């Protein structure tokens, strides 16, 4: 396969189950950058075996970590994938076919399809879950957000074929991930000066469940759709509960 001047950029922590699939899904790139946060499994070894240049960097938050990784890339064009993602063969072909006409001022959105609990999830707001994964770093850069990081671009364009995502390694991983992201979300709210509200903690999780399961037809994904809707609601509940906990700790510290 002809190589294109695109750098595949990935940040990792203990991703031995996913890293090879991710890298091998983009055989057309001529540069692979992996920034690892001191994994204790075989992530680094497997990434190097796949031809990656591996840098080890202490965790800085999602935005800063991805910005650091992007800075190590040799090419202006960046294909920024999460380790648990992979290009479908059709998407890989689409990128190659469109490369010569890519707009350097644009960020390219990929429709992401997620696999969880034995099936591809098609409803509940999970598909098409457009993610910006291709951009030119000479014009566009990551923001500094610790969570929900974004690439700042002038224009957004869409690819047609799917980006594949193995979102959780089972229910236990879903619970752990929701706990971690709710902590980050609560800290983000506190940093923005948002105040805890009983009403929001009570009603927003219910609203999220109704939206995910009924409005966005999560019920069509069977029991996995129900589990996803409950998980989304619970994660939102945790975020507000942890915001209350942060405020409580701040009040105690100020006495």
Query: Do residues 160 and 94 lie in contact, with contact meaning Cβ atoms separated by under 8 Å?
Result: yes
Global pTM exceeds 0.75? yes
Query: Do residues 218 and 228 lie in contact, with contact meaning Cβ atoms separated by under 8 Å?
Result: yes
Chain CA centroid to CA 73, Å: 19
Question: Parallel, antiparallel, or unpaired for β 106-110 and 77-80?
Answer: unpaired
Is the alpha carbon torsion for 93, 87, 116, 17 positive or negative?
A: positive
Query: Do residues 143 and 175 lie in contact, with contact meaning Cβ atoms separated by under 8 Å?
Result: no
Query: Do residues 117 and 128 lie in contact, with contact meaning Cβ atoms separated by under 8 Å?
Result: no
pLDDT (0 to 100) of residue 68: 98
How many H helices and E strands in the chain?
7, 13
User: Where does the chain have alpha helices with state H?
Assistant: 19-24, 43-49, 62-71, 89-98, 171-191, 198-209, 222-254
Q: Point out which residues pair with 78 in neighbouring strands.
A: 7, 135
pLDDT truncated to tens, each residue of the chain (255 aa)?
789 999 999 999 999 999 999 999 999 999 999 999 999 999 999 999 999 999 999 999 999 999 999 999 999 999 999 999 999 999 999 999 999 999 999 999 999 999 999 999 999 999 999 999 999 999 999 999 888 899 999 999 999 999 999 999 999 999 999 999 999 999 999 999 999 999 999 999 999 999 999 999 999 999 999 999 999 999 999 999 999 999 999 999 987
- Burial of 195: CB neighbours in 10 Å, binned 0-12, 13-18, 19+: exposed
Question: CA–CA separation, 249 vs 190, rounded Å?
Answer: 12
Please state the length of the chain.
255
Contacts of 191 (CB under 8 A, 6+ apart): none
pLDDT (0 to 100) of residue 148: 85
Question: CA–CA separation, 186 vs 238, rounded Å?
Answer: 8
Query: Do residues 25 and 8 lie in contact, with contact meaning Cβ atoms separated by under 8 Å?
Result: no
């Amino acid at each position: 396969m002809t190589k294109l001047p695109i750098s595949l950029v990935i940040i990792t922590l203990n991703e031995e189950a996913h890293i090879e699939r991710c890298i091998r899904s983009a055989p057309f790139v001529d540069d692979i950058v992996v920034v690892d946060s001191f994994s204790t499994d075989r992530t680094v070894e497997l990434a190097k075996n796949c031809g990656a240049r591996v840098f080890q960097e202490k965790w800085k938050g999602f935005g800063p970590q991805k910005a650091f990784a992007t800075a190590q890339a040799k090419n202006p064009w960046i294909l920024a994938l999460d380790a648990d993602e992979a290009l479908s063969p059709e998407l890989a072909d689409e990128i190659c076919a469109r490369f010569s006409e890519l707009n350097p001022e644009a960020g390219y959105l990929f429709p992401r399809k997620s696999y969880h609990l034995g099936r591809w999830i098609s409803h509940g707001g999970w598909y098409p879950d457009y993610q910006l994964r291709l951009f030119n770093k000479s014009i566009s850069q990551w923001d500094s957000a610790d969570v929900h990081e974004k690439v700042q671009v002038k224009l957004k364009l869409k690819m047609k074929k799917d980006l594949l995502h193995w979102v959780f390694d089972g229910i236990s991983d879903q619970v752990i991930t929701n706990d971690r992201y709710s902590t980050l979300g609560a800290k983000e709210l506190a940093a923005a000066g948002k105040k805890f509200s009983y009403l929001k903690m009570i009603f927003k999780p219910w609203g999220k469940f109704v939206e995910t399961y009924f409005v966005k037809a999560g019920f069509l994904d069977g029991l996995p759709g129900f589990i996803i809707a409950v998980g989304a609601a619970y994660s939102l509940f945790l975020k507000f509960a942890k915001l209350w906990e942060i405020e409580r700790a701040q009040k105690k510290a100020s006495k």
